[in-house]
Every structure is written in structure tokens, then in C-alpha cells.
Amino acid sequence: MCETDWLAQHELDARDLLCPMPLLKMRQALRNINHGERLLVKTTDPGAERDIPAYLGQSSHQLVRQARKHGELWFLVEQGEAT
């Protein structure tokens, strides 16, 4: 997987934040971007590996991909329809 697979219009640096802050910051960021735009979330919180996909599975947003990169968890999220 190359770096261009992670292109996004927006990026959230949630590194060094502990649960539940990465999830809360991501939710807030998704409210401020347009439908179809992508948000790259970078975090070091191990709980995010479970929490972020679980939240996205219950929302209209799409988890495009996730991975461990450079000792961090990366999530590429596409903003879904407003509910």
C-alpha cells in the first residue's frame, strides 16, 4: 500500500490523545467537512483500533481503510450522508 492510498482532503492528528478523545475529535471533524470528503485520522491510542470502526459501523460514514503505519493507527474515513 503506497502513500497515495491515504490521500484525504482533511487530516486529524489525534496522536498522544487517550480514549475517548480520538473518537470524539474524529466525530467533531466529520461534522465540519462535506459529504464525500475524506478525513485521515492518525492516533496512538490502542483503543481506537476497536472504537473507531465500531462507531463508523453505526454511522453513515465509511471506513475506507485502516492500518498500522509508523507505530501509529491510521484510519481513512469518508464523510457520509447527514442523518
Judge whether 2 counts as a catalytic residue.
no
Query: Where do the domains of the chain lie, and which CATH numbers do they carry?
Result: 3-78 (3.30.110.40)
Q: Is the pTM of this model over 0.75?
A: yes
Strand pairing category for 38-43 and 10-14 = parallel
Helix 21-31 and helix 48-57, axial crossing angle in degrees, nearest 10? 40
Chain segment 19-40, per-residue pLDDT in tens: 999 999 999 999 999 999 999 9
Distances (CA, A) of 62 to 16, 76, 78: 24, 9, 5
How high is the pLDDT of residue 75? Answer: 98
- Residue of 8, 17, 19, 21 marked active site: 19
pLDDT in tens, 33-69: 999 999 999 999 999 999 999 999 999 999 999 999 9
**CA 46/CA 48 separation, integer angstroms:** 5
